[in-house]
Each structure stands twice: as C-alpha cells, then as structure tokens.
Chains A and B, each alone.
Chain A
Amino acid sequence: MSFIEKINSLHLDVLKEIGNIGAAHAATALSRILNQKIEMSVPNVRIVSFNQMMELAGGPENVVASVFLRLEGDVTGSMFFILSLPAATYFIQRMIANDSFVFESESPHSEMSLSCLQELGNILSGSYLSSLSDFTNLHLYPSVPSLTIDMVGATISFGLLELSQVSDYAIVIDTVLEKEGDESGAMNGHFFLLPNPDSFEVIFNSLGVATDG
C-alpha cells in the first residue's frame, strides 16, 4: 500500500498544524524584518500530482524567486520559500529602505538583491523549522538554503526527485504569507514543505498519532 493511501483526515490535520506553527513563527520574523504587518493563511495540506504542484506556484513557466533547502535528520524532505518577482521587489525595497528599487529590471541581478533574498530565505526557513523541531521534538538539520530565480517547473521539480522514486504524487504543506491590506495576492510568499514518504510516520509517531489505520 502506498504511503499516500494510509493518510487519513486526522493525519492531514496534524500536518496542517505543523504548517500553522512553522508559518506563524516565520510571519512574525518577517513582520519584524520589514516593519510591516504580515499575515498568514490557514495552511493547506494537499495531495497533488507533480503537475498540480507546479500550478500551486503559478504554473511551470512562471518566473519566481525561490529559496530551497533540503532537510536531513529525523525528518527528510525539501522545503521551498517562493516569492513572485513583485513580492521580491517589495521585500528588498523594505530591507534596503529604497522605494525606487525594482528587482525585475535588474539584469543580471545585483549581489545586494540576491543577498537580501538569500538572507530572507535563511531567516524565514530557520524560524519555520526551529518551531517545527520544538513542537515535534524531532531533530531537523536543514542544508544551507540555496536561492534561484527561474521558472517554477525547473526549481520545484528538483525538490520532487526523492519523492518521484516512490510516487507520482506529493503531500505538500502549503502556507501563504500575506502582506496586510494586499488584496491582489501579488505580494504573497509561499512555503512548501515536502516531506519524503518515510518521514510521515516519524512525524506522526512523534506527536502520538497512530499510523496503522
């Protein structure tokens, strides 16, 4: 039986809670950095095909800034923090206190803007994962985050490689950070946590949730 068939609604709720705790800490950290209120959505836990996964981030050709890291330790998997280019512009503007800066018009991107995004990714993924580690009492060792600005398909497929050896579907814990008052959603940042299949049992066990039905 595949790992996905064993997942029930209680499991999905547990995974939602993980997204909740992680993103709440990340949103607080981001609010402080930007001195701007950042809200977060109720996390979505979805079982998606690889192509649907691309659609969650705007389709395979959509160009985004993404910070990617691999998880080692008790839980293994991948994590992405994904920003649209307008959102990247806004975040960099706030970080360097320069409202005329436009990320999209840079070619190639300057050291400074890349470094801002890299640092943003470090801090946010760090606060997400450390709160997750505290909550579950599991050891998580994230790799150094790596930044790339490219098509969604090209970046996310890399985080699906381990999974793809086992399944054509991924369980993704998706949380959105939203700037207060931004109705368009253009300033959203997405967290995608993609645990490897054998990590789900570890997560559920650590929280005392039965995995055998």
Chain B
Amino acid sequence: MVELRDPHIVKVGIADMNIVKSPSLIRTSGLGSCVGVIVYDEKKELAGLAHVMLPDSSLAKSGSINTAKFADTAIKELVNRLVIQGARASVLKAKMAGGAQMFQFFSGGDMMRIGPRNVEAVRRGLANLNIPIIAEDVGGNSGRTIEFNPKTCVLTIRTVNKGMRNI
C-alpha cells in the first residue's frame, strides 16, 4: 500500500515492509544483523523496502508467518506488491544494506552468523527472480539506518561512526 499520511518519508519497522512512490522517500532505522532490501522500478519511480530479520521461512516454528520477517518470503511479497502498483517485473533492480555482526562471541552456533546468512539469503532470493543487485553495503559490525529515494534511486546509509554514504 502506498502510504499517504506522510508524503515525505515512509518508515519501515523491523520485520516489516512498505512500498513508496516518488516524491516520497522510504526509510528503515537501526539495521544490525537484519538486512534492508530495496526493490525498485527506475522509470516508474516506485520502490519497496523490506527489513528482513531471518534468512528463511522454514525457521518459523509457528503456524502463521509474517512474510516481511524472512528473506525468501519478503522478496516475493515485495515484488508482488510492486507489480500491483504498476511496476514491471522484468526491469526491477535491487539494492541492499545491513547484515552486520554486532557482537563478537567465541561460540554460539548459527544465530551468531545470522548477518552473513541474511545477506546470502537475500542474494539468493533476488537471483531466483532475476533481479540484479546494483549496489550493496553489507557486513562489518556497525548498525545502519538507510533511506531510499525512488526518484534518484540513491540509497543513503548512515552509521554511528562513519557518517553518511550514498550508494
């Protein structure tokens, strides 16, 4: 759904997604091991952002699932919603950021590597739908706030220590 209340910046929470049309911007804050993935149609100035928490919906241990939480289901759902809004599936492109490792532990199993696993899962999900990744800023150990402008297709990334960066 296109958010109409705030014409400037549409905010996306954790395990959530939304769609935006120019001149509005879309933003998500405080990405750690989570990945923010943006899928957009450049000509139509239409973009969707999902704040993905986990790599795969097979990790869900309960019946009904929140599609925005998992990389595999979030990407499909983003593309569906974009197409409903008039985007052309064949020209979609993507950018992504996040997937950091916020804490260093000696052990702890798979959950400790969740950032890199989220990044791999988003890559796989996009590749399955033949959506090219135009730019990315992933890994490291800093939190990120990201904002995408569907008019310019620039993704602005802010971190606490390194300031702002556009990709």
Contact = CB atoms under 8 A, between A and B. Distances in A.
A184 interface: no
Contact of B53 (A2, A61, A164): A164
B104 A146 contact: yes
Contact of B102 (A50, A61, A158): A158
B14 A161 contact: no
Nearest to A167: B62
A97 B103 CA distance: 29
B161 interface: yes
A137 interface: no
Interface string A149-161: 1111111011011
Contacts, number: 102
Interface centre among A108, A154, A167 (most CB of B within 10 A): A154
A163 to B, nearest CB: 10
B15 A143 contact: no
A153 B30 contact: yes
Interface string B148-160: 0000000000001
A148 interface: yes
Contact of A50 (B13, B61, B106, B145): B13
Contact of A165 (B13, B33, B59, B102): B59
Nearest to B107: A143
B62 A158 contact: no
Interface string B108-119: 100100100000
Contact of B32 (A51, A143, A158, A164): A158
Contacts of B141: 148
Given A154-B30, A154-B100, A157-B32, A50 B15 contact: yes
A39 interface: no
Contacts of B61: 165-166
Given A51-B14, A107-B161, A154 B144 contact: yes
Contacts of A168: 15, 66, 69
Interface centre among A144, A160, A168 (most CB of B within 10 A): A168
B55 to A, nearest CB: 11
Contacts of B102: 148, 150, 154-155, 158
B31 to A, nearest CB: 6
Contact of A54 (B14, B53, B60, B160): B14
Interface residues of B, number: 34
Interface centre among A63, A149, A152, A165 (most CB of B within 10 A): A165
Contacts of B30: 54, 60-61, 151-154, 157
Contacts of A2: 62
Given A51-B13, A161-B53, A166-B61, A155 B66 contact: no
B15 A68 contact: no
A94 interface: no
Given A60-B30, A63-B160, A158-B103, A143 B108 contact: yes
Contacts of B104: 146
Closest 6 interchain pairs by CB? A153-B30, A154-B143, A154-B32, A60-B30, A151-B143, A60-B29
Interface of B: 13-16, 29-34, 53-54, 59-62, 66, 69, 100, 102-106, 108, 111, 114, 141-145, 160-161
Given A51-B14, A154-B142, A155-B102, 16 more contacts: A54-B30, A60-B30, A61-B29, A70-B108, A108-B161, A143-B105, A143-B108, A144-B106, A152-B30, A153-B29, A153-B30, A153-B143, A158-B33, A158-B103, A160-B14, A165-B54
